[in-house]
Amino acid sequence: MGVMGKDAVQDDFPSFALPVDTEHKATIMRPWYFARPHMPAFHLSWLAFFAAFVSTFAPAALLPVIRDNIDLTKTDLGNAGIAAVCGAIAARVAMGNFVDTYGPRFGIGLCIGLTAPAVYCIALCTNAAGFIISRLFIGFSLATFVACQFWCTSMFNTKVVGTANALAAGWGNMGGGFTHFLMPLVFDGIKASSSPAFLAWRWAFFVPASFQVLLTVCIMAFTQDMPDGNYAALKKSSAMRKSSAWGTWKAAITNYRTWVMTLTYGYCFGVELTVDNVLPQYMYDNFHLDLHIAGLLAAIFGMMNLFSRPSGGYISDLVARKWGMRGRLWAMWIIQSLGGLFCLLLGLTSGSLGATMAILVIFSIFCQQSCGLSFGIVPFISKRSTGLVSGFVGSGGNVGGAVTQALFFTYLPISTAQGFLWMGVMTMGITLLYLTMYFPMWGGCFAAAKEGVSEEDYYLAEWTPEERAEGLHSASIKFAYESRSQRGWVKQAALNESKEAAAAGAINDSVKSINV
């Protein structure tokens, strides 16, 4: 296998441990592999996102203790939850632009490293203002999601990109459940060493903060941006050329599919963020459980990401093999609608812990699968603006989380159970927007592809004639070729049959002319 130094660029004919396509992206997804350069990028990207989730929702895991120690009101708790997810809204858009320009390695490394001090500093909070501000800055770490998805899209072929993105994001999201299990254990362990409760919860935050620092070092030391090298080296060697920043932004913001996915992602990932924020306290208050048991039960929701979000990405890739992009869109709409339905049902079972847990597990599967399905579609919206589109869609998840937290769990005079019910109703309504998604070369839920439009037509339209003349569109040409897989077997079979029929007709005509 050809392995390069940190500032090197692969030669014209590099060798890789995994089979690759024309862009040198891996064509298989094997999570148990560690072959460079594809798999270290995958593993460290999901670990960084995992660490961000652990740190962001660590305060929620210890909220009953922190609430009593620094005298937080219900409104303070709601505002802190909103701040935690709002912190990443602008940060995710900025991260999209950053990774397009400087690469995912610096993006994810700097984000996870620069937010670590905020995790340490939450231990110094003595009032609501300090707690809310700390959660705001810790929330910036959730922008690692954008770099994570961009990195996987850069490393894996279109046929497996849905699975790769979903595995990385799902295992990262799992940190939201793991922290509800981890933090009470760390807190209890420190308290058992004769530390008072008001000090034990503060020392507990040194664990996730230190993990972020460790990951920052590993990312910068052991990974690279692209299969062929790091952005800086690729640009220096002219293997990657800089294009117009406005052109990149224009390709993202003028594509209506960006905004449909931004809105709808707010009601799968945004819902997940909200549940991660409110569930431990709901279990503690509604069912009168102790802190450890409440945290353990709340952890189940997030820990389902071990397989639920990855299975969403796998479903997306699986249906695309036969039905192409239209299969991805139908699966997306059906599964996210089911997530909304079971969220509604969760609000109707507040009187029974057993029923709540049964519905919670089913709800978590559909909710998290829909997140995985979303990023089976996002990489195909724009090749030129992959990072920016991912940033906008990712920030939409945080906007959705902030809106639902504010509406149903902070300011409206309704119970938490009623909040779940109305959040489910809103999810099913917003999810209908998927039915408007249409790709001219592949079609949409109800409309077939436009005759005569190819993948090259769609992706090269993002470049001006002058940029094409300079060869800046070369990566889009390769991606367009690989994206033909989104036609699906059914359409491809029909195309092949028509080509064979045309070829047979041409042969018959030639034979007739010879006979004449």
> How confident is the model at residue 226, as a pLDDT?
87
Query: pLDDT tens digit string along 1-15?
Result: 333 333 444 444 467
Q: How long a stretch of residues is the chain?
A: 516
The domains of the chain are located at: 29-242, 246-501
Return the percentage of the chain with pLDDT > 70, whole number. 91
pLDDT at 52 over 70: yes
* Two structure tokens written together for 161: 């990109």
Query: pLDDT tens digit string along 371-389?
Result: 989 989 998 999 898 888 9
Cβ-contact 166, 314 below 8 angstroms: yes
Question: Worst-scoring range by mean pLDDT, 22-36, 38-52, 250-264, 499-513?
Answer: 499-513
The rounded mean pLDDT for the chain is 86
* Two structure tokens written together for 392: 């906008």
By three-state DSSP, how is residue 293 classified?
A: helix
Alpha carbon distance 74, 409 (integer Å): 9
CB neighbours of 259 closer than 8 A, spacing ≥ 6? 392
439, β-bridge pairs: 443
Q: Tell me if 29-242 shares its fold with 246-501.
A: yes
Per DSSP, the residues of 148-169 read: HHHHHHHHB-TTTHHHHHHHHH
Q: Is 35 left (phi over 0), alpha (psi -120 to 50) or beta?
A: beta
Per DSSP, the residues of 9-75 read: B--SS---SS-B-TTS-BS---TT---TTHHHHHHHHHHHHHHHHHHHHHHHHTHHHHHHHHT--HH
- For residue 433, give the amino acid letter: L
Cβ-contact 268, 370 below 8 angstroms: yes
Taking residues 87-113, report their average pLDDT: 88
The torsion of the CA quartet 110, 114, 119, 124, rounded to 10 degrees, works out to: 180
Question: Where do the H-state alpha helices sit in 289-307?
Answer: 291-303
Cβ-contact 85, 92 below 8 angstroms: no
Backbone φ and ψ of 335, nearest 5°:
-70, -40
> How confident is the model at residue 490, as a pLDDT?
59
- CA distances to 17, 94, 118, 331, 465 from 111, in Å: 30, 11, 12, 33, 36
Residue that wins the pLDDT comparison between 510 and 181 = 181
- For residue 138, give the amino acid letter: I
pLDDT band at 513; cut points 50, 70, 90 = very low
> How confident is the model at residue 507, as a pLDDT?
36
> How confident is the model at residue 239, as a pLDDT?
65
pLDDT band at 238; cut points 50, 70, 90 = low
Which CATH architecture does the domain made up of 246-501 adopt?
Up-down Bundle (1.20)
pTM: 0.76
Query: pLDDT tens digit string along 307-359?
Result: 898 899 889 989 998 999 999 999 999 999 999 999 999 999 998 999 999 99
Alpha carbon distance 416, 49 (integer Å): 28
* Two structure tokens written together for 292: 């450890």
* Two structure tokens written together for 215: 């990951």
Query: pLDDT tens digit string along 469-491?
Result: 888 888 889 889 989 989 987 55
Return the percentage of the chain with pLDDT > 90, whole number. 44
Dihedral of CA 177/434/315/32: which sign? negative
pLDDT at 500 over 50: no
Cα distance from N-terminal residue to C-terminal residue, the chain: 59
Query: pLDDT tens digit string along 146-199?
Result: 899 889 988 998 888 888 888 898 898 888 888 888 898 999 899 888 888 889
pLDDT band at 55; cut points 50, 70, 90 = very high
pLDDT band at 79; cut points 50, 70, 90 = confident
Dihedral of CA 340/381/455/167: which sign? negative
pLDDT band at 100; cut points 50, 70, 90 = confident
> How confident is the model at residue 151, as a pLDDT?
92
pLDDT band at 450; cut points 50, 70, 90 = very high
> How confident is the model at residue 240, as a pLDDT?
65
Cβ-contact 323, 488 below 8 angstroms: yes
> How confident is the model at residue 32, as a pLDDT?
86
Domain 29-242: CATH superfamily, name plus number: MFS general substrate transporter like domains (1.20.1250.20)
Where does residue 458 rank: exposed (0-12), middle (13-18), buried (19+ CB within 10 A)? buried
Alpha carbon distance 84, 35 (integer Å): 35
Cβ-contact 298, 290 below 8 angstroms: no
Backbone φ and ψ of 226, nearest 5°:
-130, 165
